[in-house]
Chains A and B, each alone.
Chain A
Amino acid sequence: MIRVENITKSFDENEILKGISTEFKKGKTNLIIGQSGSGKTVFLKCLLGLFKIDSGNIRFEGKMLKEMNIEERSILRQEMGMVFQGSALFDSMSVEENIMFPMQMFTKKIDSEIRDRANIAIKRVNLINANTKFPDEISGGMKKRVAIARAIVMNPKYLFCDEPNSGLDPKTAILIDNLIQEITDEYKITTVINTHDMNSVMEIGEKIIFLKNGKKAWEGSNEDIFQTDNEAVSDFVYSSDLYKKVREVYLKK
């Protein structure tokens, strides 16, 4: 479980996160939603420890992130998997090498074992005939799958995804969402996803946090989001007529 306690973060004079508190439970798909510039990415990078928070606490299984020394932080990071918005695959490595990389860095397994484990992860994300290809030779959807495979190959406790289905067609986006949820259930991972994709919200949002201007404006599940009378959430989620109609149908039921 990850517990966030009243965290703030500023860049120069610009306060991006203004006292956010929440918790992300194990085996759940947690979504952070909000408009562009609401602080989602900064929040996610604070959770990852890529940005140092100004005040407040982030606790991983009760341990405070800011009190961890370099060694403890390094161990924690080996328990994290991250899927970046642009996939962040290593250009100079093939698909298989990208997935093998974390194991080569942190395990003492021999190459054949590492390759076998990588191939299990490749199979898990349904990548076919891509092992020897390089990132610039595969599609956006395949890149996301490779990024997910690389993120899960070390059996992480925590999986973070920054807009995992941005730039993908609706069908592939749903496949990626479902894949993340299946993996979360299967491996009992604490998953935190940064998104502004409403399909993701409706499909896999077991817990949703809505950020507005660096503050938590609402928190609930994908069921609650239909019934909320929070104006900021309604403005954001039901900005399109389609979702307004979906909500009407849901409420009539």
Chain B
Amino acid sequence: MKILTHIGNYFIMLKLTFGKFTKWKILKQLILKDIDTLIIGSLGIVSFISFFVGGVVAIQTALNLENPLLPKNLIGFAARQSIILEFAPTFISIIMAGKVGSYITSSIGTMRVTEQIDALEVMGINTHNYLIFPKIVSLSLYPLVICISMFLGIFGGYIAAVYGGFSSSADYIEGIQMDFIPFHITYAFIKTSFFSFILATIPAYHGYYMNGGALEVGKASTVSFVWTSVVIILLNYLITQLLLT
């Protein structure tokens, strides 16, 4: 029953978020600030992880191609498929649930604990819109992060495969172009867009409706990470079922 209450409250929160809008001049500043924190601030870690995981995917694929009859271009093909279809959109989103999600929960939760949200409320501000809407808008740029992740993942695979002596440059490039289905990119960005909304709203929900003190802010961040990851995984399954089968 408790979970149904949470789901209900979550949708009420969404309704209120798109209710009375904050003055555009203020909202613009909040959006730019959130783009800087949530998007630009995540590029470093996303780039680092994507590059090296791309490399690992390429090496592991190469090591599993023991049969000499299997072409070497399969390394590029496997790296591309796994990075575009799953690694970049889904696993980077789980990592972002930890980084961006816990930041959102703890920043809003701290505002709740220190009565800053009450102060906004007393001023007559729609706190849902003021706090959550800028995060939804700024995370709408999240597919760009995933785009960079896809590129760096495939590039990391190239470096590992070619300079590690597992494949020639021509084979790898041929592999990443082989049997390319453009819809896979569309599919990846469709699910990334859904994930970006989840990344903004579920952590915001846990921060906004938390009770207690500093310790509870930490707990709320953990719970928010767990639920954001769970919803991303379930949504990933659902979208894949709907779009790819």
Residues in A lying within 8 Å of B, measured CB to CB: 45, 48, 50, 70, 73-78, 80, 82, 84-86, 88-91, 101-102, 104-106, 160
Q: How far is the CB of B31 from chain A (nearest CB, A)?
A: 14
Q: A78-B124, A105-B26 are in contact. Are A88 and B119 (CB under 8 A)?
A: yes
* Whole-angstrom CA separation of A45 from B118 in the bound complex: 9
B20 contacts the other chain (CB 8 A)? yes
Docked Cα-Cα span, A86 to B23, in Å, equals 27
Chain B contacts for A86, CB-based, 8 A:
114-115
Kindly list chain A residues whose C-beta atoms are within 8 Å of the C-beta of B25.
Answer: 104
Alpha-carbon separation in the docked complex, A160 to B116 (Å): 15
Point out the residues of chain A lying under 8 angstroms from B19, CB to CB. 70
A101: chain B residues at CB < 8 Å are 123
CB distance A88 to B116 under 8 Å?
yes
Whether the Cβ atoms of A88 and B118 lie closer than 8 Å is: yes
- 9 CB contacts below 8 A, A to B, read A70-B20, A77-B121, A78-B124, A84-B115, A84-B118, A101-B123, A104-B23, A104-B25, A105-B123
Using CB atoms, name the residue of chain A closest to B119.
A88
- The interface residues of chain A lying within 8 Å CB-to-CB of B122 are 48, 50, 77, 80, 82, 160
Closest-CB distance, B97 to chain A (whole angstroms): 23
Q: Is B140 an interface residue when CB atoms closer than 8 A count as contact? A: no
Q: How far is the CB of B107 from chain A (nearest CB, A)?
A: 9
Instruction: Tell me if B22 counts as interface (CB < 8 A to partner A).
Output: yes
B141 within 8 A of A: no
Give Cα A86–Cα B114 distance, bound, in whole angstroms. Answer: 7
Closest approach, in angstroms, between the C-beta of A142 and any C-beta of chain B?
Answer: 16
Bound complex: CA A101 to CA B112 (Å): 18
Chain B residue at minimal CB-CB distance from A75 = B124
Q: Which residue of A lies closest to B123 (CB)?
A: A102
- Contact present for A90 and B123 (CB under 8 Å): no
Shortest C-beta distance, A172 to chain B (Å), equals: 20
Nearest B residue to A107 via CB reads B23
Residues 1-41 of B, flagged 1 when their CB comes within 8 A of A and 0 if not, give 00000000000000000011011011000000000000000
* Chain A residues with CB below 8 A from B114, complex form: 86, 88, 91
Q: Is B115 within 8 A of A90, CB to CB?
A: no
> Taking the complex as formed, is B56 at the interface, i.e. its CB lies under 8 A from any CB of chain A?
no
Contact residues in B for A75 (Cβ distance below 8 Å): 124
Kindly report which residue of chain A lies nearest to residue B117, judged by CB atoms.
A88
Contact B124 A77 (CB under 8 A): yes
Give the distance in Å from the alpha carbon of A72 to the alpha carbon of B118 in the complex. Answer: 18
Query: Closest residue of chain B to A98, judged by CB?
Result: B119
Closest Cβ of chain A to B34, distance in Å, is 11
Q: Beyond the given A85-B115, A88-B118, A160-B122, could you list 8 further A-B residue pairs with CB under 8 A, ordered by the A residue number?
A: A80-B122, A86-B114, A88-B114, A89-B116, A90-B116, A101-B123, A105-B23, A106-B123
Return chain A residues, CB-CB under 8 Å to B125. 105
**Chain B stretch 119-167: residues in CB contact (< 8 A) with chain A:** 119, 121-125
Given contacts A50-B121, A77-B123, A77-B124, contact A105 B115 (CB under 8 A): no
Instruction: Assess the A73–B23 pair: CB atoms within 8 A.
Output: no
| Docked pose: A84 CA to B111 CA in angstroms | 13
Q: Using Cβ atoms and an 8 Å threshold, which residues of chain A touch B116?
A: 88-91
